[in-house]
Amino acid sequence: MVVSEFIENAKEIEIDAVAKKGEIVAYAISEHVEFAGVHSGDATMVFPPQKIYFETVRRIKRISRQISKQLNISGPFNMQFLAKDNDIKVIECNLRASRSMPFVSKVLKSNFIELATKVMLGLEVEKPDKYLFDLDYVGVKAPQF
């Protein structure tokens, strides 16, 4: 059994990334529209995030780099965070492609799955250009029941 603190009115934020030998080579940070508590598969997601602090993004990137390095990740991974008033808590880290990885790949026009496959096969990969993360449009993933 896992017992977790319930934090009211917190944002849930995800990072989908690909790392090679612990170094992140591509990433995408998305935010859930609903407050934390809605299962990530049922949540409405926005990428790039529109309503989170710049400092929150900086901390998420720093924490993700540290965890990726310590776990020496090679391949795709997804981390989920809670954020409230710039206080960041890691919910979980999954060493696999997530449901949102195809979504962020489409929005970025950069195939994270192909990149992760090359990493896992030991092939050379190039980091995507920085301009890919400066989008002038927003993608929204919404559940359909």
Distances (CA, A) of 141 to 5, 26, 41, 82, 89: 27, 20, 10, 19, 23
97-128 tens-digit pLDDT: 998 999 999 999 999 999 999 999 999 998 87
- In the chain, the number of structural domains is 1
Q: Are 108 and 132 in contact (CB under 8 A)?
A: yes
Whether residue 141 is contained in a domain is answered as: no
CATH of the domain at 87: 3.30.470.20
Q: Which two tokens stand for residue 137?
A: 């449009």
Q: Is 64 left (phi over 0), alpha (psi -120 to 50) or beta?
A: alpha
Domain with 36, as residue range(s), is 11-129
Q: Does residue 96 carry a pLDDT above 90? A: yes
Which pTM does this prediction carry?
0.91
The answer to whether residue 21 scores a pLDDT higher than 80 is: yes
Residue 6 lies in a domain: no
